[in-house]
Amino acid sequence: MDRMNKEVILEVKGITKLFPGVRALNKVNFNLYESEIRALVGENGAGKTTFVKILSGAYQPDEGEIYLRGKKVVIPDPYQAQQMGISIVYQELNLIPYMSVARNILLGREPRTSFGFVNTSELIKRAKELMEILEIDIDPESFIYELPVAQQQMVAIVRALSVNPDILILDEPTASLSEHEVEHLFKVMMNLKKRGVGIIFISHRLEEVFQVADSVTVLKDGEVVATKSIKEINQDKLIKMMVGREFVNIFPQKTPITTKKEAVFSIRGLTKKGVLKNINIDLFRGEIVTIAGLQGQGQRELVRAIFGILPVDKGEIYLEGKKIKITNPRDAIKAGIGFLSDDRKTEGLILCRSIRENISLPTLKRRGVWGFVKRKEEKEAVISQVKALDIRTTSIEQEAQFLSGGNQQKVIIAKWLLSNPKVIIFDEPTIGIDVGTKIEIYHRLRKLAQEGTGILIVSSDMIEIIGMSDRVLVMFEGEIVAEIPAEKISEEKIMAAAAGEKTP
Ligand SMILES: Nc1ncnc2c1ncn2[C@@H]1O[C@H](COP(=O)(O)OP(=O)(O)OP(=O)(O)O)[C@@H](O)[C@H]1O
Ligand SMILES: [Mg+2]
């Protein structure tokens, strides 16, 4: 990148941040130039979020200095950060669920009437204008909790941009976005870049880094490994810098089944008016089946219906040939079905409980009584999962809320792996998971399948779908419109079916 005549907007010198028992950042130096899109990458727990939270005033550093356009500053809180021109979209969205989209966008800056009340019509008008500039089509009057995560993400981005920042920070903004929305976001980023805005972009999807960034900084264990221009690096080199070793096989050997004899799990005629149309699925022992499709075609609803979260009009579920009745998640867990939700924050974790408790929860439920589980056994089982998935923590007694985003997700995965279910449904299993662990998870899933667990994955990650599936089912408008066997899986085939093209 040509930095010759560009001004440095941000200079960070020797930032250190300590949490009890962890040095989250160690003497980090970091410069950002005008019109620069800088990717920030690293393993789960490397310190990325901690770093940007210091820039947004959410955390105070223990050591180090920050300069904005050459002037030394202290960033006392997120509000002041905004005043200084730094705007952030957090990894865990902090929108207010029971407030409107418009109110969330302009929170703290609401237009008021002469009596001091919020001027609702003006509020909606302004929010609409802001969204129009960014070509985002969301009803400003709808409540946040009514929106899918992807739209919430877009609202958070509109909010961050509404203050015309000089520096924009995006902490994994694409994790829950569809391909189309990602393209859109990148366009917005390019426009901001033209206007001189400096952007820090955190992502675990390295393809994106190469698509949009000018340069990349790698963090590892709280330290900067290197900052490189995107032109002088490639994906393999980047992975090596992040993880410290090279990878040969990202995906394990597939094991497509030849005889469709023993269905571990079957669904017959699952129907919910306007949402799911007569869904039939057989999951055979040993195979991994993925459900693909554009966002919002009923995938979310399907897996929630199976797990007893979403009531349906009709349909039957069979586990190992036996018909089972599921009216709530407890029934599902008892029957031996696990479900990793893509909504990890509300459906996956108990934030105020320890890692140990979170991981052993469904296992304990299944065995019934606390008394039957030996404490020592439980602890050993949890520790082995923590090791296998490389969950970065000071202790298994650490509360889940203090883990980095990716490590929280690993806890949920560990929980289901440990509970040894007959069928696990993974809704977007590797969102926010770093590349090294992703590979570990892929191999674990394959092993589970080989050992007989039925594995159903819902994914929007094309590379993952192609790499992992023995069979792909594609959904369109609440219906399964295509079934693609392993040897025929390709991006074109999946995309065609996802667009509604029916295959016989
Ligand atoms: N509030 C906190 N209290 C205690 N420890 C914390 C806190 N926030 C972060 N940590 C620890 O600091 C380290 C860095 O976490 P951070 O969230 O910055 O990682 P990250 O690079 O953003 O990871 P991810 O890719 O998973 O989001 C981790 O070991 C994490 O457990
Ligand atoms: Mg993070």
Same domain for 272 and 171? no
Q: Which residue has the CA at smallest separation from atom 7 of ligand 1?
A: 402
Rounded distance from Cα 42 to ligand 1 centre (Å) = 12
User: Is 224 found in the same domain as 153?
Assistant: yes
Extract the tokens encoding 322.
């036996």
248 located within any domain: no
Better-predicted residue by pLDDT, 257 or 109? 109
Question: Using one digit for the tens of pLDDT, what is the confidence trace for 296-324?
Answer: 899 989 999 999 999 999 999 999 999 99
What is the per-residue DSSP string for 345-370? HHHT--TTSBHHHHHHHHHHHHH--G
410 plus 449 within the same structural domain: no
Q: Are 411 and 400 in contact (CB under 8 A)?
A: yes
The domain that holds 81 is classified in CATH as 3.40.50.300
In this prediction, residue 6 has a pLDDT band, given cuts at 50, 70 and 90, of confident
450 plus 376 within the same structural domain: no
**Alpha carbon nearest to ligand 1 atom 3, residue:** 402
Same domain, 461 and 502: yes
Long-range contact set of residues 496-503: C-beta below 8 Å, sequence gap at least 24:
497/292, 497/293, 498/292, 498/293, 498/294, 498/297, 498/474, 499/294, 500/476
Mean pLDDT of 460-486: 93
Specify if 187 maps to a domain: yes
pLDDT at position 256: 75
* C-alpha 66 to ligand 1 mean position (Å): 21
The CA dihedral of 326, 410, 213, 164, to the nearest 10 degrees, is 70
Does 310 map to a domain?
yes
Provide the domain count of the chain: 3
Same domain, 38 and 147: yes
- Last residue of one domain, picked from the residues 388, 405, 420: 420
Please report whether residue 341 resides in a domain: no
* pLDDT computed for residue 128 by the predictor: 94
Domain shared by 499 and 412, yes or no: no
Please compute Rg for the chain using Cα positions: 24
Ligand 1 neighbours, Cβ below 6 Å, are 19, 22, 24, 42, 44-50, 91, 392, 402-407, 434
Structure token digits, residue 224 = 């900067």
236 and 116, same domain (yes or no): yes
Which residue's CA is the nearest one to ligand 1's atom 2?
402
For the CA of 172, the closest atom of ligand 1 is 27
Within a domain: 3 = no
- Arithmetic mean of pLDDT over the chain: 89
Percent of the chain with pLDDT over 70: 94
Specify if 249 maps to a domain: no
pLDDT of 345 reads 67
What's the mean pLDDT in 55-79?
96
pLDDT at residue 369, rounded to an integer: 46
Looking at the structure, tell me whether residues 294 and 363 fall in a common domain: no
Cα–Cα dist 170/490, whole Å? 32
Q: What range defines the domain where residue 415 resides?
A: 348-420
Highest mean pLDDT among 178-182, 273-277, 404-408, 445-449: 273-277
Ligand 2 (ion): which residues have CB within 5 A? Answer: 49, 91, 404-405
Residue 429 has pLDDT above 60, yes or no: yes
